[in-house]
Amino acid sequence: MNASTPPAEPRLTSLSHGGGCGCKIAPGVLSEILKGTAAMPIPPQLMVGIETADDAAVWRLNDEQALIATTDFFMPIVDDPHDFGRIAATNAISDVYAMGGKPIMALALVAMPVAQLSTQTIGRILEGGASVCRAAGIPIAGGHTIDSVEAIYGLVALGLVHPGHVKRNADARAGDLLVLGKPLGVGVMSAALKKLELGDAGYAQMIATTTQLNTPGPDLAALAGVHALTDVTGFGLAGHALEMARGARCDVQIDWAAVPLLDGVRALAARGFVTGASGRNWAGYGAEVVLPADFAAEDRALLTDPQTSGGLLVSCAPAALDEVLAVFRRHGFERAAVVGRIAAAAAAAPQLRVS
């Protein structure tokens, strides 16, 4: 290197202690932190607040419109700045779709180590996020920036929904079927990527799934047979299914063989490419999960694997299944699949039962 050659920038993932939705505070710790906030007064216009750990807040504006408000941000899950921005924006907007709404605008949240990253790199992150907002048909109308020791990017996302179409995560019914919109394994892939063990095909697959907007949300919410809706993110399939179970006071039964997985992730998990968040998730809610005696360690890791920009999880009446799958297919989600059902609780507390 001569005097005129600028030093190489660090890998984005080397600047973060955890990437993507794997950065989330563990579910048990989060519950302890938030336990005092549930006592706050709830205005009648607030249709959805923090009481069920749902995907976004919903405020009723009038008989025809309710405002959805959410925010999501995290540290890099990939090293390419443009891809990082795309993933973070897709993930943030997903919560609007998961409530059954359509996004209307976003605000950018930007915290960057400006002494370590060039303005060009930071600009590429923001452009990646902006490209996703353009694809969603919304503007980035403002935001906030700070200098930070770790690179953090995300959005405040706002949307609109008809009050009658709001779909909470807590309204599943016994007898419902569960449909998952995207395959699992993003956390496992991110762990392999951080150790330079994810090939080009795996990376392409990871980017394709994490940048696919969950646009089926509004169409699914308009179906009378859809009772509950959420998206699978940092707490993994098990954690978000348990949120449904607790809200409905029912059990969730998962048919593990039917759960779609990203190609190659089971082998990667078996080689030890598992995020720390997966273990924290299990520590937080494992007592509520009933597994088969021969359930493999890599499968448990995938059951709790934190999904960044994961798929929608739909609880619907059996009679609505064909319509639900048709909506997913129409929006390009070819791997959407029935992964389980909602059942009457077999014990005093709801459980997740895996077969």
Active-site amino acid positions: 21
Would you call 188 helix, strand, or coil by DSSP?
A: helix
Q: Cβ(273)–Cβ(188) under 8 Å?
A: yes
Burial of residue 224, with CB atoms counted within 10 A of its CB: 0-12 exposed, 13-18 middle, 19 or more buried: exposed
Among left, alpha and beta (phi > 0; psi -120 to 50; other), residue 137 is: left
DSSP string, 195-233: TT---HHHHHHHHHHHTS--THHHHHHT-TTEEEEEE--
CA proximity to 48, closest of 3, 99, 11, 6: 99
* Dihedral (CA of 230, 231, 235, 238) sign: positive
Would you call 344 helix, strand, or coil by DSSP?
A: strand
CA–CA distance, 50 with 27 (Å, rounded to integer): 14
CA–CA distance, 128 with 85 (Å, rounded to integer): 4
CA–CA distance, 314 with 226 (Å, rounded to integer): 7
* Dihedral (CA of 36, 30, 76, 238) sign: negative
Helical axes 276-285 vs 27-34, angle rounded to 10°:
60
Q: Cβ(214)–Cβ(70) under 8 Å?
A: no
Task: Name residues whose C-beta falls within 8 Å of residue 340's C-beta, 6 or more positions apart in sequence.
Answer: 177, 178, 241, 252, 253, 254, 255, 258
Which tokens go with 44? 């009648």
CA–CA distance, 50 with 38 (Å, rounded to integer): 7
